[in-house]
Chains A and B, each alone.
Chain A
Amino acid sequence: MRRLYYLVREAWANMRTNRTTTIVAVLTTAFTLACVGIFLLLYMNLRQAAGSLQEDVKLMVYLEDRLRGERVQELERKLKADRMVAQVFFISKEQALGEFRAQFPGESHLLEGLGENPLPASFVVTLAPSFRSPDAMRGWVERVQTMAGVAKVDYNQEWLSLLAELIRYIEMAAIGVGILLSAAAVTIIGNTIRLALLARREEIEILRSIGATRTFIRIPYFLEGAVLGACGSALSLGILKVAFELFRQQIQLTGRFSGIEAMLSFFPLSVCLALVLAGMGLGFAGSVVSLLRVGEGRT
């Protein structure tokens, strides 16, 4: 117990002795990790948005005009039997016309001039959740388009592909920026630990001379690194949360992009804890790097 108390007290003493360096390290780590956090937040929100958009994606299977009665039912049976399909809903030519009139009452006279109802009958298909990726959708559409009686299959493929591509880019940017800035955080914390090590060089020599193991000597510095990383990470979450709320407020005030603010969300608690742990890990890595660089622990 006394040993543990000693190790924790040493770590605390290190931080207090080099107070300015410690504060600077926490602040710079916090801003560095906040930059990574911005990308993560953007990535998370876009993925959520893409997910909810994909939930809503309906595929319109337009039928050939000549298709009647039994053959429509046969096609419906086929679609319902498809393992990729979750839901099928039939819209007859008359229902389509009715919907058009309801949605565009001002333009309904355009159709009257044509005499016969030009709108096709269709199936509105919702795919099962595991088949809503752009690739799966594309494959399904290509397959159904070749079915007899199907005139055309329509869905907002381009827009979904674009969104998927954008998410992929942001994911790559988040990984790239994350790696770069994490390395920066490791270096910042590593330098702080290095200063602490140099300041306590004599003390370390004394510890070595009385039979302290490498681990015993290193633990306070590992603890210090982990605490600095965790504090930096927690502070970066605080900065992000404030910035996030300000951004949301700004959207509400300007009235632009109304509806978007309801879709925006901050990291859930589990992710926040994971990020603090990640910060702790980076700090620990910083300690390891500096201990290796200074060559501490060699007997």
Chain B
Amino acid sequence: MDAIIQLIHVSKWHDRKAALSDVTLEIEKGEFVLLMGSSGAGKSTLLRMLFGEEQPDEGQIFVHGRNVTRLRPTEIPYLRRKVGAVSQDFRLLPKKSVFDNVALPLLVQGMPEKDIRRKVTEALRAVDVDHNKDQLPNSLSTGEQQRVCIARAIVNGPVVLLADEPTGNLDPEHTREIMELFKLINARGTTVIVATHDPHVLHHVNRRVITLVQGVLLSERRIGQGVGL
């Protein structure tokens, strides 16, 4: 299989403290990966690097064949159009309707209006919030807001979906629903990486698990396959 993400001896320091230390890993196309670790383990730093928001101090990162560490600032927006991002705090625009929020990634790409309408409707339907499309985000429940956030991340068909603590603000029931949604998105061919500190998430996902501890890649295993590394 092809590696869609490659980290080669990646290190990053924040205020002289190692956020990531000599991390090397490969994620293949279509994989579902759980990135586990407590707060400060380096999960978010790793995701931010895959997204071009931070650069490593050492090492190389490849995403979908592009060396992210060598991208010019003007090329980063185009990387982000291939990599969807979901965050714990949803980051929705409060004064725009659900439809407009989800349409935004297509709008910045200059997609024709007809296609925007079609794709947004499909994305909203996929996450089951199409009936809320005219509402403002704040009038929705947290679970629904997270679904809108996911719809926005998948609306332009990204090759990779990064989710940083996506269930951090959700109750167990909504957590299960959101993880099922990620599995569905993954089943359609998108590589999904979910960073979480919540071990309960493992109950819903029996895939590859990468554990980080204080910036070090501690273990890599597939559920039911024992511990690697």
Contacts and interface: CB of A to CB of B under 8 A. Distances in A.
Interface of A: 1-3, 6, 13, 202-203, 205-214, 216, 298-299
B113 A299 contact: no
B77 A212 contact: yes
Given A2-B113, A216-B108, 14 more contacts: A1-B113, A3-B108, A3-B110, A6-B107, A202-B91, A207-B108, A208-B80, A209-B85, A210-B105, A210-B152, A211-B108, A212-B77, A298-B73, A299-B52
A212 B103 CA distance: 12
Nearest to A210: B105
Interface of A is mostly: helix
B223 interface: no
Given A2-B113, A2-B116, A3-B107, A299 B77 contact: yes
B73 A213 contact: no
A202 B53 CA distance: 15
B81 interface: yes
Most-contacted residue by chain A among B79, B85, B107 (CB, 10 A): B107
Interface in B42-101: 51-53, 73-74, 76-81, 85, 91-93, 95
Nearest to B109: A211
B108 A299 contact: no
Contacts of A213: 74, 77, 108
Interface residues of B, number: 26
A211 B81 contact: yes
A299 B54 CA distance: 9
B148 to A, nearest CB: 12
A299 B105 contact: no
Contacts of B109: 211
A13 to B, nearest CB: 8
Nearest to A4: B110
Contacts of A216: 108
Contacts of B51: 209
A209 B104 CA distance: 11
B13 to A, nearest CB: 21
A207 B110 CA distance: 14
